[in-house]
Structure 1
């Protein structure tokens, strides 16, 4: 549905907002370039001063967007200060809703500089894309919020009716260790009717999406032990298999011959309404032509509504440090994505039972549970979701996709629990070639401008509504 199907009393001035966003776009890119230049990384091995610089830059940006109530806040995590978060507010007019705009200013480490075609912390425009660490994830999310507010101010004045609260986190890439404590500490400051999380992506270039489901997450480690200590492989090899071999045999029990997860107690369903062609998936994921895709059902369901398990780390001696000994222990870390509706505790228990039941050759298997995160699903019939879909379609001029995402955003579950009455909308600027977290991260500039317009339309129209 487009703006032509609504009366002028319920629809914002699309043309004026579009013109404002376009006129300010060079300034928006300049601001994004300045943010990208700050290597704010919330990992202990990196200089925390850069994270403070990043928060200061965001605070100054929001003051420049017309907000006066701007604070840099943090809470402690077991005595250690959390990352600096920027909170800025403009109260709602009486009877109008408040919208919380979330993004994060911290970024991933740049990784191997040899893999980058440009300098990681120098935003570089090339072929309609902006390259740089954080250009997409998630400093573009900050700029979508800030630029949308500027357009709103330009077209509607400094008091558009809708209340606006910015919450720009400073430790998301480090796992948001103080996020829940921060929400509970500043619950009244952050309370909102609608929460917009600008940390996801779109279906493809030119086709917007509202992320309507996220898989849950559990992870952990398991160790296989076969000996009390390492022994000579020539003198003892044969009767006893080494721990890495038995670890491999245990890992092989996780999937059946077709690549479906073979762990009893996990839920999943083939219920994705969107067609994701195999050729597109292969191109987006860079999977080799010779590799057969795992699992059964539609590709979209395998990504969004079925569980998946990956081994993301193994501790065994490296090849260069290996010796002719039978290794007594080997350890692996797994990451398991859960279908919407799956209880994380039940999934963790299922993993524990499977490991215990499949210990190879009677090896001693020790399981150490890790993180847990709930799945998420949006009620797309809710008024805020309908308004968001209208705004996306109006901005792009094409029907948006109601998209699932195979990954997890664990803090979404915290938002749901702390603010159960709020409608949560997950948006973003990434596309399949944005390469967030990887070398050559980039942002498609055309979609970036459309995302700003869509959020301006969303905020303007919410400002025309009354609080339920």
Structure 2
């Protein structure tokens, strides 16, 4: 079906129905974390199967893997032998709501806000699933490309599905992928994500005494485990707050980034408190490393005794350049810590899990088609960002289909409060994302057809 110039009109006609289905989907508390009931996750799965079938998708199946929520796998065959196949990805599980007292309305009661709706998971990632649904409806179930639709049910917690695609590559075979678990840097600004930082965890601990000892009698000579740990942690950054571990890659950032005021507002930085690090925000957030102390085991202030601390432990989260090897990045941090002897005290360093970064190719026909489509969807020139967060499945899909182009865009925006209280999505972003994705399928099909004709001329 060729929508021609009617794409915007068609999207406008679909919006009421898409918003209604988004409300139905976000009213389901599909939290796939341990301790939460599994029934809502299955309910969300079943609703998506119903919506896909209603949009004209005949082939819909359920993929069950050990210890994970069911994955929706759907397929629309290509209209002819020369058409490409595009994989569309999203996930229907959501983060827990956290402290519900911080929400302005119940997290699973979709509530109007100016220009949009508020609910847990409405931006991450249920709005993007609705975008896929809108594209199917815009083409009345007959898009100009073949489609493989993958809707995951346990992305937020992690699951066996992260590593599954390379074991079954034929199921995911395609020419291009749209990973709709991302969005725009700011509302109204079309954005392609061109990098995902990798992640690793390391635990460092110090043991110095058999048990606590009176700080008046022993302090000053008895080795304080907490002091030793803090001295070691202080070596991870220089005087500016930049990571000081040798070998962790940091490149110039050449894409778009936040203004400092935008970032301070998004991060909730208190007035008068400076940002840490030097260089552009893009380098600090995306093309360079970050080390965060995400937890410390030590006596609490409220229950502190006047005693020298015998044991302390910290957990570190490392984010690293999208193209740096994850094992190498983690080992550089481990080596740095193991080389230290704060006050002559040895540290015990335990390497943890790693997750690779990802940097897609940006010079292929799908990428060029996406640039045209984003301009059409939002009416302005696309910009390019990276993400400090990781999407483990992206690497799994890329390994399964190494020659497929990977595109990351969607209906979210960086001000939508994903993973935070009062998460929201804007109708304008939802509409533009539907137009952009539908236009991408049209443009990519045309580009693919012209390449095919050229190769047979």
- For normalisation by structure 1, the TM-score amounts to 0.91
CA–CA distance in structure 2, aligned partners of residues 136 and 64 of structure 1 = 23
Q: Decide which of 170, 174, 177 is 2:153's aligned counterpart.
A: 170
Match of 1:372 among 346, 350, 354: 354
User: 1:72 is paired with a residue of what secondary structure?
Assistant: strand
SS in 2 for 1:174: coil
Q: Distance in 2 between matches of 1:332 and 1:463?
A: 52
1:15 paired to 2:2: no
Is the CA contact (8 Å cut-off) linking 1:219 and 1:333 kept in structure 2? yes
Give the 3-state SS of the residue equivalent to 1:103 in structure 2: strand
The equivalent of 1:123 in structure 2 is: 110
How many residues were matched structurally? Answer: 449
Q: How does 1:85-104 map to 2 (within 5 A)?
A: 85-92=71-78, 93-104=80-91
SS of equivalent to 2:397? helix
SS in 1 for 2:239: coil
Contact residue 198 and residue 426 of structure 1 kept, 8 A = yes
CA distance in 1, matches of 2:342, 2:379: 57
Q: 1:185 Cα shift?
A: 4.4
2:29 is the counterpart of 1:42: no
Deviates more, 1:81-90 or 1:102-111: 81-90
> What secondary structure is seen at the aligned counterpart in 2 of 1:368?
strand
- CA RMSD of superposed structures (Å): 1.9
**Match of 1:462, SS?**
helix
Q: Distance in 2 between matches of 1:149 and 1:446?
A: 19
Question: 2:429 matched to 1:439?
Answer: no
Q: In 1, Cα distance between the equivalents of 2:215 and 2:30?
A: 48
Per-residue CA distance 1:186-235 (angstroms, 9 max, x = gap): 42222111111001120211111011111111112211222233333344
Give the one of 47, 53, 58 matched to 1:57: 47
Q: Hey, what's the Cα distance between the residues in 2 that align with 1:315 and 1:50? A: 35
Could you list the structure 1 runs, at least 4 aligned residues long, displaced by more than 6 angstroms after superposition: none
1:184/1:75 CA distance change after superposition, 3 Å: farther
Deviations 1:98-152 (A, max 9, x none): 1111010110000001000011001111111210001000011111111111112
Give the SS at the match of 1:199: coil
Deviations along 1:389-417, one digit per CA (max 9) or x if unpaired, are: 11010111100102222222232222221
Q: Partner of 1:20: helix, strand, or coil?
A: helix
Give yes or no for the alignment of 1:454 onto 2:436: yes
1:325 counterpart = 2:307? yes
**Quick check: 1:233 aligned with 2:220?**
no
Say if 1:434 and 1:443, in contact at 8 Å, map to a contact too: yes
Write the distance in 2 (CA, Å) between the matches of 1:101 and 1:385.
15
The residue correspondences of 1:250-269 to structure 2 (distance < 5 A) are 250-269=232-251
- Shift, 1:12, TM fit: 5.8
Give 1:97 deviation, angstroms: 0.9
Q: TM-score, normalised by structure 2?
A: 0.94
Structure 1, unmatched stretches of 5+, are 1-10
Map of 2:271 onto structure 1: 289
Answer whether contact 1:272 1:298 (CA < 8 A) is retained: no
For the 8 Å contact 1:253–1:358, the answer to whether it is kept is no
Paired residues of 1:429 and 1:448 also in contact (CA < 8 A)? yes
User: Matches of residues 171-186 of structure 1 in structure 2 within 5 Å?
Assistant: 171-175=154-158, 177-186=159-168
In structure 2, stretches of 5+ residues that fail to align are 453-457
Contact 2:200 2:355 in 1 (8 A): yes
2:15 match = 25
